[in-house]
Chain A
Amino acid sequence: MQTQTIMSKDANRSITESLSPTSLKECIVQSIEDTFTPIISEAPSYESGSEESSCDGLIGIISFVGTNSFSLMLGLPKNTAGFFSRCLVGFEIEYDTPDMSDLVGELVNLLAGSITAHLEKLGSIVHMSLPTVARGTDLQMLVPDGFYSMSMNFGSCDYSFWVKIVTMPSKHN
């Protein structure tokens, strides 16, 4: 109910105004559910409270430019990357291969496509970049001073992943 109220409120704003961070976050949570539910056959469980955004694994990064400009990061620990490969392609892709990086790039790409569609419905027109994939241990995305960021964690017994958004501060912050 609260989500609906926030979304409706922002839908009435001027088309040139960017969304509030709260509305952007709601949009992204909805996009995560829409994107990953068909892949893993369940809605990803949002873990409110914890905001860890580092991992030993892979991070897919996409930037958005338009009415809202922000960067989005999808962090997949090693075991989750394997889990998602089994769900999407039917078998486990070997972790230390270009194909695994390809998979993570595609996952964040799928998520980005859903985000642009949801934002369009709210009057926010954005264009997404091609994905970049980083791989390593204790990966963290450092945020420059003055930028606004928010992290969301999702998990179950089979997987865990996080999504981080970084954007310029707006009048909403």
Chain B
Amino acid sequence: MEEKKKLRLKALVVDDSRIMRSLVMDALRKSNLADFDFTEAGDGAEAMDRFDSEKIDIVFADWNMPQLNGIEFARHVRSMRASVRVPIIMVTSEKAEGKQAKAYQEARINAYITKPFTPEEVANKLTPIIEEMSKEPEPAPTVAPVVTQQNKSVNTGGFFSKLLGRG
């Protein structure tokens, strides 16, 4: 079977624990789902500084962190028009169902991974997201295109006149 070409993804890993960031990155490497280039942040505020929708393809964020927690960081990312489609995966010790529901509804995350996790669990949660990213077309332009006809600007008056004339 022909091996699919792996995506190269720039991943932002946000956790106030250096050990946990290492475990997340290690699990992602072992998943073999993509080739990851990692950027790390120690809390949500630092993540906001490092997040750039043009440079980060995917985010892995803890929930409980000082300065700015993962949910608030995710809300900020989602409020930015250009990063609405960046997948955000929560990686957290919060296991309560109410918390998970909150993360999906309020922060519009894409997946939820509870700690501790195995590389296999990370791969299972991430596979559909990576597959979706592999299919994605070119990102929509951030500026509305100017529609012109050749050598003419759009003349809506002429259009409506024709429509009314035919009506």
Contacts and interface: CB of A to CB of B under 8 A. Distances in A.
Q: Real complex partners, A and B?
A: yes
Interface of A: 35, 38-39, 88-89, 93, 99, 102-103, 105-106, 109-110, 112-114, 116-117, 119-120, 125, 128, 130
A135 to B, nearest CB: 16
Which of A102, A109, A110, A114: most chain B Cβ within 10 A?
A109
Contacts of A119: 96
B66 A117 contact: no
A106 B20 contact: yes
Given A113-B114, A120-B98, A130-B66, A106 B19 contact: yes
Contact of B92 (A35, A88, A113, A125): A113
A39 B17 CA distance: 17
Interface string B45-70: 00000000000000000001110000
A80 B97 CA distance: 31
A25 to B, nearest CB: 19
Contacts of B96: 113, 116-117, 119-120
Interface string B4-43: 0000000000001111101100000000000000000000
Contact of A103 (B16, B19, B115, B116): B19
B95 A88 contact: no
A116 B19 contact: no
Max chain A CB contacts within 10 Å: which of B64, B96, B116? Answer: B96
Given A116-B99, A130-B65, 18 more contacts: A38-B116, A39-B116, A88-B19, A88-B23, A89-B22, A89-B23, A106-B17, A106-B19, A110-B115, A113-B96, A113-B114, A113-B115, A114-B93, A114-B95, A117-B95, A120-B96, A120-B98, A130-B16
Contacts of B72: none
Nearest to B23: A89
A125 B114 contact: no
Contacts of B114: 113
